[in-house]
Structure formats: structure tokens, C-alpha cells
Amino acid sequence: MTRDKSEKIAKLFAILAWILLVIASARPVWYGDPIEVHPKHRDMMLVIDLSYSMSQEDMREGNDYIDRLTAVKQVVTDFVDKRSGDRLGLVYFADHAYLQTPLTFDRETVKTQLDQTVLKLIGTQTAIGDGIGLATKTFVDSDAPQRVMILLSDGSNNSGVLDPIQAAEIAKKFNTTIYTIGVGAGEMQVQNFFMTQTVNTAEDLDEKTLIKIANMTGGQYFRARDAKELATIYDTINALQPIQKATQSWRPRTEWFMWPAFIGLLLVIVTVMIRRNDV
């Protein structure tokens, strides 16, 4: 390499080094997306009946009827969307109780798990007490100032180990508020081959027990006879348990000055070495 060419390279490196060191002295910083800080959150378990009777198509939606589970999926998905800042979880019960989704701030996971739910996963009967018991168990290590359970059923307890009232008493000891929802149209007209009959599609619904569970834990009992009523109920619960809005936010900060400083110093060293070799 000729002396003139070496000198040009040395000058170029020196200029680049100066530019990089000036940039480093400005201490460039990268800020991430804002993160909301929620000083308080609520732990909320959604406890849903998956007995076979949830396949009953008696929930009016406009001019059509949909099955109970489909109505629940639609309404609860919308409810989950509104619960930003709370930890949510899913417990299902039929022959026994099953923890589908542990408490999480990830609402998308809760909605996905709910959407993928099908009947007969855990039997066809109704273990209301076990559902309450398992949901309460998730609150044992909870440090949330508020613990809420929303229990939805269309039947009466006919399976499982725990009695629903005993389970509610345990939940009460963990300062858990239980809102209960009874689902089923009740009387409706059904057409068969010969005639139109009036049937009671909610004859198995144990409203007395659901009312007692709600009253003893400081909650409320609601009755949903169609999809619109069910949506109104969850809107009411949403209002009764308002979201704690974030009071502050912060943005992750990353210092970038070390990279231009390192490269600049490296170029200074290379420049000095080039000029020494030319002497």
C-alpha cells in the first residue's frame, strides 16, 4: 500500500472515529413501547358448566336459537376483552372440575382456550361444588386485594366430591366474592311431528343453591334466559367490578452510546497504527 493511500485511509478512519465519538458523547438512547403499570389488580376465575345440557339450543339470538355453550363463549369472550389489568382464569366442571387456564394477565390466552372448548371433555354431569373448590384453590397463593368468581351453570349438583354450599363456605374464608348465573330459557314452544308443545328447558336448574352461594359470599345471582340477557348480566358484573385504571406508565430505556464509542476508539487505534507504519 502506497504512503498516499495509507494517509487517505488514516484520514478517513480519523474522521469516522471523530463522528462516532461525537455521537457517543450525545449518549443516544432507545425507548421501547410504553408499559402501563397497574398498581392493583383483581384475580377473577370464570367457572363454567360443561355438562351435556349446555348443548341445549334454547338461547334466543335475534330470530334464531343457539346452544348454551355457544352463547357463553360469545358473551364471555367479550367480557374478557374488557378486563384489562385483571388476572383471569378458567375452570370447567362436569363429572369433575378441571383447571383449563391458570390465573394470567394474558387475555388472548384465555379467549383462545375458551374458543377451543367443547362438551364431553370432562363428562356430562354437573359438579358445581368441585368447580367452586378448584377455583378457590387457585386463590390460595393470591396476593390480589380482590378475588372474584363468576359461576355459570344450567343444572344442579349431581356429581363430584364437594357440596356446593360447603365449597362456597371455603371460598368465603379466602375473601372470594361469587357471582352466580343460571342459564336456560325456561318455558319455550317446541314443534314435534304432531303438535306444538310447551316444555321447560330449565327444569334442572337449581336456582335456590345458586342464590344461596351468591348471598353468602357477597355476590349476586342472575338469570339468563337468552343471549341478550346473558350479555347484559356480564356487563352488569363488569360494572360492579370496575377495572383499576393504570395510574402511570414507563418506557424501557436502553443506552446505545457504548457501540459508537467502542467502534470510534477502535478506529483511533487503527489510525495510529497505520500512521506509525508509514513513518
Side-chain-side CA neighbours of 54 within 13 Å: the count stands at 27
Rounded CA gap, 44 and 91, in Å? 11
Rounded CA gap, 68 and 70, in Å? 5
Rounded CA gap, 137 and 131, in Å? 10
CATH no. of 36-240: 3.40.50.410
pTM for this model (two decimals): 0.73
pLDDT tens track for 141-177: 888 889 999 999 999 999 999 999 999 999 999 999 9
Q: What is the pLDDT of residue 250?
A: 67
pLDDT tens track for 94-109: 999 999 999 999 999 9
What one-letter code names the amino acid at 166?
Q
pLDDT tens digit at each of 279 positions of the chain? 566 676 677 677 777 777 877 777 777 777 777 776 655 678 999 999 999 999 999 888 988 899 999 999 999 999 999 998 899 999 999 999 999 999 999 999 999 999 999 999 899 999 999 999 999 999 998 888 899 999 999 999 999 999 999 999 999 999 999 999 999 887 766 666 666 666 667 789 999 999 999 999 999 999 999 999 999 999 999 999 887 665 556 677 788 778 777 787 887 777 777 767 665
The number of residues making up the chain comes to 279
Cβ burial 112-143 (10 Å sphere, 16+ → b, else e) = eebeebebeebbebbbbbbbbbbbbbbbeebe
Q: What is the pLDDT of residue 29?
A: 77
C-alpha cell, 168: 362456597
Average pLDDT for the chain: 87
Listed residue (243, 267, 261, 262) closest to 84, CA to CA: 243
C-alpha cell, 213: 352461594
Rounded CA gap, 247 and 39, in Å? 7
* Dihedral (Cα; 158, 163, 167, 168), 10-degree rounding: 90
Q: What is the pLDDT of residue 139?
A: 95
